[in-house]
Amino acid sequence: MAHTTDETLTVLVYSDDRNTREQVSLALGRRPAADLPEVGYLECATLPAVLRALEKGGIDLCILDGEASPAGGLGVARQIKDEIYGCPPVLVLIGRPQDSWLAAWSRADAAISHPVDPVALAGSAATLLRARTAGRTPAAH
C-alpha cells in the first residue's frame, strides 16, 4: 500500500514513568521503517488517559509498559483487547524475557524486554504497523 506523504501514524505510549515514555519515542524515532509513514506519539501516564485516547480513535499502535504502576501494561493490554472494538495492535515492554508468558496472557501482539532495545522495538513496531496499515480500506471496521 502506498502511503501519502502527509499521512502520520499515531503510536500511544503508556507508562507512569516519563523516562520510559521518552526512551520509547527516542528509540522508535520519527519513522520505524523506510516503507512506513512518519509516526507521532501520544503519551499517556494513566489508565484513564489510555482508555479515553482509544475510545476517541485514531491510534495505530499501543506500546504499554508492563512495569507501570498502579495499572501495569500487561493488565491494560488484556483489558483493552477485551473492551476496545477494533483495538489497535499492542506491544508490551516486559521486565525480563522470562515474563513472555505474561505477555501471552495479556494477548499482546508482541513483547520486548526492558531495557528498550531500539532495533528490537523498531522491528516489532514496524511489523505491527505494516499489518495495521495493510488492513485499512475506505470501509474499514
Per-residue confidence (pLDDT) for residue 136, from 0 to 100: 61
Cα–Cα distances (Å) from 82 to 37, 78, 113, 117, in that order, read 28, 6, 24, 29
Classify domain 8-134 by CATH number.
3.40.50.2300
Burial class (CB in 10 A: 0-12, 13-18, 19+), 139: exposed
The mean pLDDT value of the chain amounts to 91
How many other CB atoms sit within 10 Å of the CB of residue 60? 21
Task: Please choose, from the candidates 61, 78, 71, 65, the residue with its C-alpha nearest in 3D space to the C-alpha of residue 15.
Answer: 65
Q: What is the pTM of this model?
A: 0.91
Give the pLDDT score at 137.
42
Contact present, 48 and 14 (Cβ < 8 Å):
no
- Is residue 66 packed enough to be buried (19+ CB in 10 Å), middle (13-18) or exposed (0-12)? buried
Q: What is the pLDDT of residue 1?
A: 38
pLDDT for res 138: 40
Confidence (pLDDT) at 7 = 87
Q: How far apart are CA 137 and CA 14, in angstroms?
A: 28
Q: Which residues of the chain have pLDDT under 50?
A: 1-5, 137-141
Separation CA 92–CA 67 (nearest Å): 10
Measured between alpha carbons, how far is residue 6 from residues 3, 9, 37, 39, 40 in Å? 8, 10, 8, 11, 12
